[in-house]
Structure 1
Amino acid sequence: MINATSPSWPARIGWTAHLVLRIGLAGYLFIYGWSKVFLAQMGRADLGDALVAYGEMSPMGLLWRMVGYSVPFQFLSGVAEVLAAGMLLWRRTAGVGAAVAAFDMYFVFLLNLSYDVPVKQLSLALAIGATIAAIPYLTRFLRALFTAGPIPRGPLPTIATGRPGKIINVVGAVLAGLSVIASGLLFRQAFPAPTEGHPLAGVYRVVDDTAKPAARLVDDQRWQQAAFSQWVVGGKSRWSIRLANGDLRTGSFRDAGPNLIKVDLKPAQRGPVRTTEPATTTFELRWELRPDGRLRLVGGGQDLTLESDPEFRFLFDRDFSWDPRPPVNR
């Protein structure tokens, strides 16, 4: 065991490297952790995605929507990473923090492998780094798990002793606490929370269209469905349309005046690799919500009447119930 009261120079150098490793791990964990706590990484269940079919999703898109749908799951996943980061920065909790960080990162690595998320190498590196940070405490962990006898005191990272050591200990504890608070505040400022409640939010199907159908269904470019997000981020919201020939278009919209929105649309990505960015079409739509709940859209060559489509927003309307009720697995 390393003597915490008078460590040798090799031990001091080792604990210094250990501290640098813990700071680096904590930095990444703060970024990914706070992004989940504030629901910024995966977002939230979005009506603008209501028209995306299961087979059209990429593996990463499936994971993002699955995690984004569950606010508690995403939030608690972030809390686990922020908690591990904070414990890594304080030497008295560094061992537990390293163990929690290793568990978090191996789980993230498994998800990245399973759902083809591009940061596989980074998550593996963080998992290995956390494992290395936990090695000095391995004997204590094993005794706690597999023996019934007393657990000896674990190693205490010590870079300096005497008065300098006491100063480092106090400053380290204060900086660890401040890092948790400051990183959270900075992240919230950089990524403000989305606002909810755009009047267009919903999923609609076209019930009246002034355009004539094409001779062949495969060539029919008329709109069949439209979905407008309930979330507004930076003045923009997501939306998508499904054409009569089955093609999907996705994009964003923003308010451009009273009952007027400016929209952009582009084809959904096709194939496993995107070689060129799809062309984006931008135009304005004037909208009117009628007393009967129907929506009229005029602009961009369209003159449509739409009504709410409950089938394609079933996922969003399914409420939580603690009481037993018939399962709906569809």
Structure 2
Amino acid sequence: MTAGVTPAFTTVSVWHLLNTIAAGVALGLMLSPFLYELAVANGIVAPAEAVRSSCGDTPAEWAAVRVGIIWGLVTGVALVAGQVVRRQRWVVPDVVLDVVALFLSLTLLKYGFVKVLGTQFPRLWANLDTPPAELTPMRVAWQFFGYSAAYQQFLGWGEVLPGVLLLFRRTRTLGAFIAAVVMLNVFLVNIFFDVCVKIGSGSYLFFALLLLSQDADRMWQFFVAHRPTALRTLPATAARFGKRGRVLYRGLGVLLTLGVIGLTAQDLQGIREYAASQKSVFPYTGVWETIQAARWTDGRWQPLAPADSAYPTRAYFQAAQAVLRNAARRDRFVTELDSARPDEALLMVARNESNDFAEPRRWVYHAVQPDSLRLLGRWRQDSLKLSLRLNRNLMK
């Protein structure tokens, strides 16, 4: 017997061949960033437009998905042709599914703990103080999930649980079932609220459904036909290898599982450090109302009327987030202290609702009194000098 195959062609069913193609596509999606870079480097595809963004669904990511799916389909069809020609059922799809389970586990654990520690959906005063009709659908969803810390943690544990179950073969089906339910909800939220991570959530849902489909017949018998389910008719993956192959397969499985646990621990530490760093980026956190504003025009500072579109009625500084707004404008920023002048200057990086970044702009700040602040900087095309007063009533 050749290591990694079974000699009986009758075991190569149509289901197994379709499963092989699906496994190839899953592998292509997991490798899509690498495959895309490789294709660009070799001139096979043209590089997509580069954007500075902390969000997903960028042109490069869409291009990478297309490359990954095409590569996966070609690989899957090649494996199917090989099995038909050799009249043998190969173990390659089963090994790929093991990798898919570990990859999905790592992903769920990472995103789950981000929610458990309350860093994915911050509860921002700027959003609470803005009518939902003025927010984008994504901001509405983020504000809803982040309003209650306990609910956000519930969502997180709902991802951590299947992530843990997917690490073990005996609980993989249960983990895939829970993951499919969770990721279906995440994917639909991303679709209906136009959240810019549709590629990722759609891929993870596909991975969960692919893993779950391996027991589709048995689940049908149990949940629909109300009949006792039979034991698996196929031997364990390791049993299809020779003696050395089994040792290698099991050894790699243990190493990869430990790798997932180690990477999760590393991610958890990084999430904690990020959460700590977000607590006091700007020393004057709060909701500030503008009491006086001036714009640099014709070589001098000229007063601005509150009705002017360049007059920010309120400025919100919370963690590493900032918002300037009035009746006509609402702009979001990522902030960090200027390393050269941390006691008097703040870097504000404008970002749109797709989280595309602009170049940072320096704002100089000075606290006149504990509840009074002066800011000097550039908002869109205007250089502004602002006098602000803290509004504690909106900081709840």
- TM-score, structure 2 length as denominator? 0.60
Residue in structure 2 matching 1:286, options 350, 353, 366: 366
Q: 1:134-158, CA deviations, whole angstroms, 9 ceiling, x for partnerless residues?
A: 2232233234334666443345662
Whole-Å separation in 1 of the counterparts to 2:90 and 2:149: 41
Q: Is 1:183 matched up with 2:259?
A: no
Whole-Å separation in 1 of the counterparts to 2:157 and 2:89: 32
Whole-Å separation in 2 of the counterparts to 1:83 and 1:194: 22
Q: Is 1:308 matched up with 2:391?
A: yes
Query: Shift of the alpha carbon at 1:21?
Result: 2.8
Query: Shift of the alpha carbon at 1:286?
Result: 1.3
Match of 2:332 in 1: 250
Query: Shift of the alpha carbon at 1:220?
Result: 5.2
Query: Shift of the alpha carbon at 1:228?
Result: 1.0
Match of 1:20 in 2: 96
Q: Is 1:201 matched up with 2:285?
A: yes
Whole-Å separation in 2 of the counterparts to 1:175 and 1:287: 55
- SS in structure 2 of the partner of residue 160 of structure 1: helix
Query: Shift of the alpha carbon at 1:242?
Result: 2.3
Q: Is 1:240 matched up with 2:323?
A: yes
8 Å CA contact 1:82, 1:180 repeated in 2: no
Output the amino acid matched with 1:264: M
Gaps of at least 5 residues in structure 1 are 1-5, 232-236, 318-330
Residue in structure 2 matching 1:30, options 106, 114, 117: 106
Whole-Å separation in 2 of the counterparts to 1:44 and 1:155: 48
Within 5 Å, which residues of 2 pair with 1:103-182?
103-146=181-224, 150-154=228-232, 158-161=236-239, 167=247, 171=251, 174-175=254-255, 177-182=257-262
Change (3 A) 1:179 1:113: same
Whole-Å separation in 2 of the counterparts to 1:136 and 1:188: 31
Gaps of at least 5 residues in structure 2 are 13-87, 295-300, 378-383
Change (3 A) 1:228 1:190: same
Q: 1:215-265, CA deviations, whole angstroms, 9 ceiling, x for partnerless residues?
A: 6x6535333212110x2xxxxx2112224x542233243345575241426
Query: Shift of the alpha carbon at 1:86?
Result: 3.9
Output the amino acid matched with 1:27: F
Change (3 A) 1:168 1:146: farther
Whole-Å separation in 2 of the counterparts to 1:130 and 1:109: 12
Whole-Å separation in 2 of the counterparts to 1:35 and 1:62: 20
Match of 2:344 in 1: 260
Output the amino acid matched with 1:239: A
Q: 1:48-79, CA deviations, whole angstroms, 9 ceiling, x for partnerless residues?
A: 54554422322222222322333343334343
Match of 1:58 in 2: 136
Change (3 A) 1:174 1:29: closer
Percent of matched pairs sharing the same residue? 20
8 Å CA contact 1:86, 1:180 repeated in 2: no
Tell me which protein shows more helix as a share of its residues.
2
Q: Is 1:295 matched up with 2:372?
A: yes
Whole-Å separation in 1 of the counterparts to 2:170 and 2:323: 51
- SS in structure 2 of the partner of residue 226 of structure 1: strand
- TM-score, structure 1 length as denominator? 0.70
Q: 1:164-212, CA deviations, whole angstroms, 9 ceiling, x for partnerless residues?
A: 5864685476446524421212323555332225542221223456787
Q: Tell me how many residue pairs correspond in the alignment.
A: 293
Whole-Å separation in 2 of the counterparts to 1:128 and 1:253: 36
Whole-Å separation in 2 of the counterparts to 1:277 and 1:213: 30
Within 5 Å, which residues of 2 pair with 1:210-249?
214=304, 218-219=307-308, 221-229=310-318, 231=319, 237-243=320-326, 246-249=328-331
Query: Shift of the alpha carbon at 1:27?
Result: 1.6
Stretch moving more, 171-180 or 94-103: 171-180
Query: Shift of the alpha carbon at 1:308?
Result: 1.4
Whole-Å separation in 2 of the counterparts to 1:204 and 1:99: 47
RMSD: 3.9
Q: Is 1:101 matched up with 2:179?
A: yes
Output the amino acid matched with 1:249: D
8 Å CA contact 1:208, 1:305 repeated in 2: yes
Whole-Å separation in 1 of the counterparts to 2:211 and 2:349: 48
- SS in structure 1 of the partner of residue 373 of structure 2: strand
